[in-house]
Amino acid sequence: MPHFKKPAEGSWTEHLKIGTEPVSYEDSISPEQYEREREAIFKRTWLNVGRVEQLPRKGSYFTKELDAARTSVVVVRGTDGEVRAFHNVCRHRGNKLVWNDFPREETSGVCRQFTCKYHAWRYDLDGKLAFVQQEGEFFDLDKSAYGLKQVQTEVWEGFVFVNLDPENTTPLRAYLGEFAKGIEGYPFHKLTQVHKYRAEIGSNWKLFIDAFAEFYHAPILHSGQYMADEARKIQKYGYEALHYDIDGPHSMVSSWGGIAPPHDRKMVKPIEAALHSGLFGPWDAPDIGLALEDLPPAINPSRDKRWGMDSFVFFPNFMLLIWRPNWVLTYHYWPTSYNTHIFEGTCYFVPPENAFQRLQQELAAVSFKEYGLQDGNTLEATQTMLESRAVRDFPLNDQEVLLRHLHRTARAYVDDHQRRSAEAGTPATS
């Protein structure tokens, strides 16, 4: 018995015209396909690498490891206040320019210039080569030709994106499409209280997006998070979303409210009842200057009173969750091989005014982590069994429509890149 209305076609999947057949996950277990994805996707699309709040003043910088694109970038706020990104490589002998103790770990700070640890070549915040050690020993060195290699950088609503492909001239806003347009105006800049988590996951990057792009699994995998009687009720109820949509490579699911706060307080654990908070965030939403009905149009697109949160998948690896109680969660999935990736989950809250609010936020952030641990480990089990290739086709239901779209999109990017490379007579992978 459906709880929410579906489109006239009878299903979201048919409405969105993305096929209903069983799906192969060969794209998540093939090392060769992963190499193709690196070229076709991670070296060529806009990737969100952080927030402007990470660059509070001139000279603020952070590095981002982009293993799937085989590079590292340094993102910096210049003396003119502009945000720029550069390949994190010294033009002299190719040393990684900005790192601290551990070359493979990301770092951040404030500086006036970047100095290479190897031979002390120095670059200003705009990437210009400013100083060469023993310059006279070189041969007609034209310093102006050896600035840092710049990467396209644009900011959308405070989210900093880079695009490693100099030939990809699609502006960020055009790439992010209708969902981004419909989110603009949400006061992300007021949500500056940050809890950030990181995990190394033994699965293909898309499989974790799959896990977080559907909630069909939540009443089952996470049932231990509820009181026992309630877990049984929730399983019987199952999960249905309010709304699904796709726009180009991107997709979204809009969900009902769940437990923030629950109608039936028996559903919640004692700590949640004591703090009025839980996975869905603090139950009492802080003032963000926007009433529920005034939220930008892409948020709660069905304008349903029961709305609880929206989850946007901006292809390839950036997920943005906007919760009814006025907080935001982002997920990033950074591939490191065909069957491993780094997962990042970041909670953004309005800064708490008092210790009680701080505890409410702590419970929301820690709840996300407890759930995430269950998801992350399950994925390792999934990856190993997919790799057995004992089963090759998997049926996806109408609540798993975002997964179907993600795998289709990733395959389409690869196929399109292969075709264009063949036409141009260049190898599709380097």
Partner 1 sequence: MASVFPDGFEALEPFADWAVRGEKARYAKRLASTMDELDAFYNVAFPLLESSKDYLEQVSMEDISEQDKRLLWLFCALVTVAFPVEAWRQPRVPDSGPSTIDAILEPAV
When binding is defined by CB under 8 A, the residue of 32, 356, 384, 389 that contacts partner 1 is 356
- Is residue 127 classed as helix, strand or coil in its secondary structure? coil
134, 169, 354, 388: which one binds partner 1 (CB under 8 A): 354
| Cα distances (angstroms) measured from residue 254 to each of 53, 85, 302, 303, 345 | 27, 33, 8, 10, 19
* Residue 373 binds to partner 1 (criterion: CB under 8 A): yes
Please select the residue that binds partner 1; options are 26, 126, 154, 362, rule is CB under 8 A.
362
Whether the CB-CB separation of 414 and 33 falls below 8 Å is answered with yes
Q: Which stretch binds partner 1 (CB under 8 A): 147-155, 192-200, 205-213, 391-399?
A: 192-200
Show the site string, 230-249: x = touches partner 1 by CB under 8 A, - = not: --------------------
Only segment of 183-191, 237-245, 363-371, 386-394 that touches partner 1 (CB under 8 A): 363-371
169 binds partner 1 (CB under 8 A): no
Question: Using the rule CB under 8 A, is 141 a contact of partner 1?
Answer: no
- Shortest Cβ distance from residue 255 to partner 1 (Å)? 22
Smaller CB distance to partner 1: residue 274 or 385? Answer: 274
Stretch (H or E) spanning 122: strand 122-124
> Which of residues 116, 164, 172, 201 is near partner 1 by CB under 8 A?
201
Select from 34-42, 135-143, 287-295, 348-356 the region that touches partner 1 (CB under 8 A): 348-356
User: Which of 148/363 has CB closer to partner 1?
Assistant: 363
Q: Phi and psi for 60 in degrees, rounded to 5?
A: -70, 140
Give 150 or 374: the residue with its C-beta nearer to partner 1: 374
119 binds partner 1 (CB under 8 A): no
- Burial zone of 335 (CB within 10 Å; 0-12 exposed, 13-18 middle, 19+ buried): buried
Rounded (5°) CA angle 317-418-212: 20
- The CB-of-402 to partner 1 minimum distance in angstroms stands at 22
Q: CB neighbours of 349 closer than 8 A, spacing ≥ 6?
A: 191, 193, 194, 195, 281, 282, 286, 327, 361, 364
Q: Assign 73 to helix, strand or coil.
A: strand
- Is 102 a binding residue for partner 1 by CB under 8 A? The answer is no
Tell me how crowded residue 31 is: count the other CB atoms within 10 A of its CB.
Answer: 9
Q: Does 372 bind partner 1 (CB under 8 A)?
A: yes
* Interface of this chain with partner 1, residues 208 to 227, rule: CB under 8 A: 224-225
* Min CB(226)–partner 1 separation in Å: 8
- Residues whose CB is less than 8 angstroms from the CB of residue 336 and which lie 6 or more positions away in sequence, other chains included: 67, 68, 200, 342
Among 119, 265, 369, 420, binds partner 1 (CB under 8 A): 369
Among 6, 143, 190, 195, binds partner 1 (CB under 8 A): 195
Chain-centroid distance, C-alpha 174: 18
Distance of closest approach, residue 105 Cβ to partner 1, in angstroms? 10
CB 350 within 8 A of CB 190: yes
Q: Does 32 bind partner 1 (CB under 8 A)?
A: no
C-beta closer to partner 1: residue 177 or 376: 376
Of 174 and 274, CB closest to partner 1: 274
DSSP string, 217-286: THHHHTGGGS-HHHHHHHHHH----SEEEEETTEEEEEEE--SSS-SSGGGS-HHHHHHT--TT--SSPP
Amino acid letter, residue 416: D
Whether cis (ω within 30° of 0) applies to the bond prior to 270 is: no
Q: Which of residues 375-414 bind partner 1 (CB under 8 A)?
A: 376-378, 380
Read off the amino acid at residue 230.
E
Q: What's the number of CA atoms in the CB half-sphere (13 Å) around residue 226?
A: 21
Q: How many residues form the binding site for partner 1 (CB under 8 A)?
A: 42
Nearest alpha-carbon partner for 168 in 155, 151, 145: 151
What's the closest the beta carbon of residue 241 comes to partner 1, in angstroms?
Answer: 25
Judged by CB under 8 A, the stretch of 41-49, 95-103, 264-272, 295-303 that binds partner 1 is 264-272
Using the minimum distance from each CB to partner 1, give the nearer residue, 377 or 397. 377
Whether the CB-CB separation of 36 and 414 falls below 8 Å is answered with yes
Binding site for partner 1 (CB under 8 A): 193-201, 224-225, 269-271, 274-275, 343, 345-346, 351-359, 361-363, 365-366, 369-370, 372-374, 376-378, 380
